[in-house]
Amino acid sequence: QVQLQQSGPGLVKPSQTLSLTCAISGDSVSSNSAAWNWIRQSPSRGLEWLGRTYYRSKWYNDYAVSVKSRISINPDTSKNQFSLQLNSVTPEDTAVYYCAKGIRGWNGQNWFDPWGQGTLVTVSS
Amino acid sequence: QSVLTQPPSVSGAPGQRVTISCTGSSSNIGAGYDVHWYQQPPGTAPKLLISGNSFRPSGVPNRFSGSKSGTSASLAITGLQAEDEADYYCQSYDSSLSAWVFGGGTKLTVL
């Protein structure tokens, strides 16, 4: 049974970098059949997919256009985890951030299961 | 404003049946991309309820069912129970955004 455990600070100052980590148990970040995602949730933006990292003989990343210039998602195979870095944050980035495993179905469609416990990140001075 | 449109709220008495709609467009649901559903009780992370339009993961009661037609999808819950009170979200893929997208969520109240 896959479990995801998030860690990272809950308060970040404007213009600084938001950093979160998601530790994986019961699966491998290097799995050839999974993708590792970050999703955030706020009252103003709802649920918003941010990006993913995945391994298919080499590492790939996909990012949402809305954050593409500021985001980096990286695997750490030595610790079986992956991380999120979001640069130049503003109060608009205040949200609950979730990591989630992306599962690819038989027809190539993707869904998210399971999700991490969530981390409320507030951007404020 | 979310790419997928859901009603903000629905309600029903215990034992009744409710449905939650999810309306998309020709770049997501209408393009043939699957719809998945999640349940989020207050203060918790979303949990997968339905994958691939109508498949229930192990452990999800058969009171929950999903369907899809055209540019819309629906989640039906029969035999409502108090524990079903939660927010429900639909999710699909949007080819014009090249991103996975969600509905705005529907709050289910069991009267």
- Integer Cα distance of A40 and A97 in angstroms: 4
Per-residue pLDDT of chain A (125 residues; tens, 9 = 90+): 999 999 999 999 999 999 999 999 999 999 999 999 999 999 999 999 999 999 999 999 999 999 999 999 999 999 999 999 999 999 999 999 999 999 998 778 899 999 999 999 999 99
- With a CB cutoff of 8 Å and minimum separation 6, the contacts of A27 are A2, A34, A101
Task: Dump pLDDT digits (tens) for B64-83.
Answer: 999 999 999 999 999 999 99
- Integer Cα distance of A56 and A39 in angstroms: 22
- Residues 32-71 of chain B whose Cβ lies under 8 A from any Cβ of chain A: 33-34, 36, 38, 45-48, 51-52, 57
Residues in B touching A37 (Cβ below 8 Å): 100
What is Dmax (Cα atoms) for chain B? Answer: 41
Residues in A touching B68 (Cβ below 8 Å): none
